[in-house]
Amino acid sequence: MTDIIVNGMAFSLPLFIIAVGGIYSERSGVTNLALEGFLGAGAFFGAVFVTLTSGLFAATSQLPMYLALIVAMLGGALYAVIHAVLCIKFKANQVISGVVVNILAMALTDFLTSQINSVALGQSSDKFVLTVSGRLTFEPLASIPVLGGFFTNVYPFEFVIIAVAVVAWYAMYKTRFGMRLRACGDNPYAVDAAGCNVARLQFTAVLISGALSGLGGMCFAYSVFGNYSTSIYTGYGYLAIAAMIFGNWKIPQTLGACLLFGFARSAGYVLVQKLGMPSTYSDLIMILPYALTLLLLVFFSKNNRAPRALGEIYDKGKR
């Protein structure tokens, strides 16, 4: 049970912060299928930073990881500008823009990774090797039956994600900015009539989406993968979108969906190990969160209430 909790939390929390980024974008009215590209591009910037500055820090220092998380957030926000400009300034189809942004991120980061390795490091490789993040165990809490798993082998970035998520929740539901942002997703013309700049609010929301996705992508690079390569584009962005929809575009409910997906994934791996099944079955287990997503959407999608103006191209002249 401890392994299920430990690995489930390590997967669920990065997925959750990516989904929170999607909530910010879609609650502002901008459809965001580009989370996959955002998380990959953000993690790319963070991985490049770690690779090029690795000689400046002690081998056991955790500081590069924390700096990489910040760089990944900045990089994700920077890359999100593409989606924001296409959808908000040029009023492009938001679904097509998201798909294109995802494809572009994968191709561009793969090319740049190879070039940086070749030119700057003098080696032929299509990935950046990162050290797996250290873990923390909190005694005597870790010895509590069942619940002790939440205090065992905890990645430090999990605390960063929780702190950022709390700030994101507060900004979304307890501030004037959050109220206006949510109003943009329901009635942007009313927001405009109140004297607010709808385009600026939506642009900001998409950039926040990119930053949070970049944070989640870097956390996956430091835990699930242990390196940065095109393997980071494994559908986690789309799984975050599914969690967001299942969570009805609300942050607390989305956390529950992400925990469900994460524990389903980790329980599957533990089951394979307990039954002594071949390692090839571990790859099959990876489909569990996606299969669970399909089942949940079939039974609960009728209760979903998307923002009323989601996906609608806002034109001030029509007001």
Kindly report, residue by residue over 25-61, the tens digit of the pLDDT.
Answer: 999 999 999 999 999 999 999 999 998 888 788 777 7
What value does the mean pLDDT take over residues 90-105? 96
179 domain-assigned: yes
139 domain-assigned: no
* The one-letter amino acid at 174: K
pLDDT of amino acid 319: 57
What value does the mean pLDDT take over residues 152-156? 90
Enumerate residues 6+ apart whose C-beta is below 8 A from 130: 47, 50, 221, 222, 226, 227, 228
Structural domain span for residue 301: 2-134+152-318
Peptide bond into 289 cis (omega under 30): no
184 domain-assigned: yes
Q: Are 231 and 50 in contact (CB under 8 A)?
A: no
183 domain-assigned: yes
Pick the residue with more confidence: 271 or 23? 23
CATH of the domain at 27: 1.10.3470
90 domain-assigned: yes
40 domain-assigned: yes
Residue 303, pLDDT above cutoff 90: no
- The domain total for the chain is 1
Residue 164, pLDDT above cutoff 70: yes
147 domain-assigned: no
8 domain-assigned: yes
pLDDT of amino acid 318: 65
